């Protein structure tokens, strides 16, 4: 993904994935490696507190330390400031201010050396955008017999062990608990947030006991670190954050599709979510 941002013709990259999949963490890792590539460095704007797309420009201006914009519009100030900059601008948590997408296009059009990296749960849908899906971590195949060493090759298992040791320094992956840990990671679909919240319980629950409680995972996967945003302190909060971003029609599709697990074809989604005469195109619009 870092190589993508080095390409001259690529101006806008959007990291897309569900809440808790690690988009912000990946963006920070990439920008740390790319900072020296940009003559004017990297600027990071956290948009999670912003609710009004009209306030995105001022939030970005603040991230760039442009505090005095009284003599012109914030949009003009940004364009002037960035017009000659060779800079990577990171816009984190864009999904709830998608109405500000034209601002990104405006800045890219007027600032030829500007690159923008966005994290979002949805595409901006503007010209030139390169979507980069952020997938969950790799999980082991729990149907096969594997050694402890083999299981540690899976990113999800390594994350579980790392976070478990932060809570219980004596925790270790052993032949006795390895299968349960692997099954936990599999049941949580390799989602980093869910794995971290589960691993934090190992100071009071052994992996086998933790696994047995995953049938009611939302109450269990809570009480994350207090220095994280509230949506990252509990899996229920992460889901609610995404759900609240949907329009009423999309929320209806979401609720109806909840009966399907493991994915489905469009025809199945139409049958389940179509409900009151909706055709396939309407259901597709709600999914996409």
The pLDDT-based confidence of 10 (bands split at 50, 70, 90) is very high
Q: Is the pLDDT of residue 266 over 70?
A: yes
Q: What is the pLDDT of residues 146-200, one digit of tens each?
A: 788 888 889 999 999 999 999 999 999 998 999 999 999 998 889 998 899 899 8
What CA–CA distance (Å, rounded) separates 25 from 88? 16
Mean pLDDT score, 8-25 = 92
Q: Which two tokens stand for residue 82?
A: 């960035």
- Least Cα distance to 94 among 142, 129, 135, 141 occurs for 129
Residue position matching structure tokens 């797309």: 53
Instruction: List helix spans (H) across the chain.
Output: 2-6, 23-34, 56-63, 74-82, 101-110, 148-151, 155-167, 178-187, 192-199, 207-212, 217-220, 235-244, 248-257, 266-273, 280-287
Of the listed ranges 84-93, 166-175, 196-205, 238-247, the one predicted with least confidence = 238-247
The larger pLDDT score, comparing residue 282 to residue 35, is at: 35
The larger pLDDT score, comparing residue 175 to residue 116, is at: 116
Mean pLDDT score, 57-72 = 82
The pLDDT-based confidence of 260 (bands split at 50, 70, 90) is confident
Mean pLDDT score, 132-151 = 84
- Please, what is the average pLDDT of the chain? 85
């Amino acid at each position: 993904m870092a190589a993508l941002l080095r390409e001259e013709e690529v101006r806008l990259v959007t990291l897309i994935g569900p809440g808790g999949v690690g988009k912000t963490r990946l963006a920070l890792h990439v920008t740390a490696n790319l900072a020296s590539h940009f003559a004017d460095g990297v600027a990071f704007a956290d948009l999670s507190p912003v609710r009004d797309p009209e306030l995105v420009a001022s939030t970005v201006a603040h991230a760039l330390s442009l505090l005095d914009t009284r003599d012109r519009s914030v949009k003009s100030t940004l364009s002037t400031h960035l017009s000659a900059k060779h800079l990577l601008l990171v816009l984190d948590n864009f999904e709830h201010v998608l109405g500000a997408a034209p601002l990104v296009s405006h800045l890219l059009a007027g600032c030829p050396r500007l690159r923008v990296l966005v994290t979002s749960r949805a595409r901006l849908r503007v010209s030139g955008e390169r979507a980069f899906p952020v997938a969950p971590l790799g999980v082991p195949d729990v149907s096969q017999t594997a050694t402890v060493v083999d299981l540690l090759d899976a990113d999800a298992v390594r994350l579980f062990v790392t976070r478990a040791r932060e809570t219980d320094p004596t925790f270790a992956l052993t032949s006795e608990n390895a299968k349960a840990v692997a099954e936990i990671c599999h049941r949580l679909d390799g989602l980093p947030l869910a794995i971290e919240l589960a691993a934090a319980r190992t100071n009071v629950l052994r992996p086998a006991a933790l696994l047995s409680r995953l049938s009611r995972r939302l109450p269990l996967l809570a009480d994350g670190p207090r220095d994280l945003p509230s949506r990252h302190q509990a899996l229920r909060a992460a889901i609610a954050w995404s759900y609240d971003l949907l329009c009423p029609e999309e929320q209806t599709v979401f609720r109806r599709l909840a009966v399907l697990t493991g994915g489905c074809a469009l025809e199945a989604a139409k049958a389940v979510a179509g409900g009151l005469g909706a055709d396939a195109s309407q259901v597709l619009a709600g999914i996409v």
